[in-house]
Amino acid sequence: MAEKQPRRTFAIISHPDAGKTTLTEKLLLFGGAIQVAGAVKSNKIKKHATSDFMEIERQRGISVATSVMAFEYKNVLINLLDTPGHQDFAEDTYRTLTAVDSAVVVIDVAKGVETQTEKLVEVCRMRSTPMMVFINKLDREGKDAFDLLDEVEKKLNLHVTPLSWPIGMGSRFQGVYNLFEKKLNLFKPHQKQGEDETIVIEDLESSELEKHIGESAANTLREELHTVTSVYPTFAMKDYLDGKICPVFFGSAVNNFGVKELLDCFVQISPEPLGRDTEERHINPGEKKFTGFVFKIHANIDPKHRDRIAFVRVVSGTFERGKPYRLVRQDKDLRFSNPYSFMAAKKEVVDEAFPGDIVGLYDSGNFKIGDAITEGESLHFKGIPSFSPEQFRYILNTNPLKTKQLNKGIEQLMDEGVAQLFTKEDSGRKIIGTVGALQFDVIQYRLEHEYGASCTYEPISLHKACWIDSKDPTALTEFMQRRKKDLAQDKDGKLVYLAESPWTLRTVMESHPKIEFRYKSEE
């Protein structure tokens, strides 16, 4: 491992509109990966956010798909995954979190901790993923810094330790004091932050402080920092890596302020690529043989070429271009002549990839989310979630001449994991199930713009989809005969019971004790 460049793989997570994609743009700017940062809400600015590469994302000003970007900073190769914040796309985000080693949580200073942030942090905490918090939009009026930290501790159940501290906020915002590097960073709105606005002040009692921020602000800062150092735990690397404490930074991503401090600290403290658990054993990143898993599939990254890309996280060994690897689920060997690394939608062919890297592999329909790829060993990676849909609609083809395109589009979008398809046993009608309602719009939009097919939806009153099985074949046959009108098959041909209401589901489960009901499909 020694001759390889150090790597860090992390995701940025937050509630919608907390400034996650803007922060991503600014990090890429520091890494030299882009020359001009784009805006997500681009009414006036012509350049869009690099990570929002799908047309629908640009129109709505939200991220609907995880995008992967690699850039270099201070000789560290950083793989950054920008995830959708909107709850309707939580499934994509949850899966992405299986592929990263740490996370940065973005919180809006005015809104504080919001519901989607709570859910995402819960997923990270279950995996003991180390997290850093970036409190954003300090150039606007918001909640008191101490109140915010209390909220983070209570709602997110995280033990925080501030590594920077704000001086005022909104119109009184003067900058931050960086506790990690003992430096004062002065804020100049709408200017690119440079080295010259950073003043080293080791001793906070020195009169230097008054010179730069005035007497009143200097006294307030000293008092607040005294409280910070006495109330919050001192930063310790091991506690952070074990997920026990969470460093906090303050800044304003849109003004490019506080971002460099976050990044400088991140490359010093964040974990190197970590191993992963499989059903068979734990895989160590230092192992010689290549292993990796598919955590995301995306169709039509380049709409001109109708390509499907499987995103693979390299867990151990070296992935080499053109070498045959075993796709464990199908027990067959595949060669990849054009593996890619990503800069959002821009792709570059790579000859080799190392633990922590994300590679994109062209997929002609072989891959499923969660698939293991190895040098021959039979492994099954654990903890890649799939969810039971909560919203259901019939999908109707509005252009019979484009039936082929519609079927192909639905099949490919379902493979991406954006939704699930159920075909009714009695009528053959197709039902789409999603975790959130916004996904229906995205599917409709993408079918039209990427496949040339048009569809509409018809409402259907359903509560849950349950995958069913039984060790007693007679009981299963009887159940299938009695409940035929409520049965469907998923895209893999597995049997699913569609329950109309919680009451129906309870009654059916009581009437058929020999049938197993599961809320998610299992391979």
Residue type (1 letter), 476? L
Residue 224 CA to residue 209 CA, distance in Å, equals 14
- Other CB atoms closer than 10 Å to residue 232's CB: what's the count? 17
What pLDDT is recorded for position 291? 93
Q: Which residue has the tokens 């209401």?
A: 501
For 126: left if phi > 0, alpha if psi spans -120 to 50, otherwise beta; the answer is alpha
* Short-list 344, 282, 348, 367, CA closest to 79: 344
Which residues touch 421 (CB under 8 Å, ≥6 apart)?
A: 410, 411, 414, 430, 431, 432, 433, 490, 491
Q: How many residues does the chain have?
A: 523
pLDDT tens, position by position, 64-113: 344 677 778 888 888 888 665 444 445 666 777 888 899 999 998 888 88
What pLDDT is recorded for position 344? 44
φ, ψ of residue 401 in degrees (nearest 5)? -70, -15
**DSSP-based helix, strand, coil % in the chain, nearest 5:** 30, 30, 40
Residue type (1 letter), 442? V
* Short-list 198, 196, 197, 175, CA closest to 187: 175
φ, ψ of residue 239 in degrees (nearest 5)? -65, -40
Residue 252 CA to residue 259 CA, distance in Å, equals 8
Which residues touch 100 (CB under 8 Å, ≥6 apart)?
A: 9, 10, 11, 81, 129
What pLDDT is recorded for position 353? 85
Residue type (1 letter), 41? K
Written as one string, the DSSP assignment of 307-355 is -EEEEEEEEES-EETT-EEEETTTTEEEE-SS-EEEETTEEEE-SEE-T
Which residues touch 280 (CB under 8 Å, ≥6 apart)?
A: 377, 378, 379, 380
Q: Which residue has the tokens 């101490």?
A: 146
Largest CA distance in the chain: 86
Is residue 94 within 8 Å of residue 4, measured between CB atoms? no
Residue 291 CA to residue 371 CA, distance in Å, equals 11
Rounded alpha-carbon distances, angstroms, from residue 130 to 121, 126, 321, 503: 10, 11, 32, 41
Residue 292 CA to residue 283 CA, distance in Å, equals 10
Rg (CA), the chain: 25
Which residues touch 473 (CB under 8 Å, ≥6 apart)?
A: none
Residue type (1 letter), 212? H
* Short-list 350, 353, 362, 359, CA closest to 302: 362
pLDDT tens, position by position, 332-341: 888 888 887 7
Residue 340 CA to residue 358 CA, distance in Å, equals 9
What is the mean pLDDT, run by run of 10 residues, along the chain of 523 residues? Answer: 71 78 78 46 38 43 52 85 55 76 90 82 81 90 90 90 88 83 74 55 71 82 87 90 90 84 89 88 90 80 61 90 89 84 61 86 79 88 70 89 87 76 88 79 81 88 86 89 88 86 90 83 51
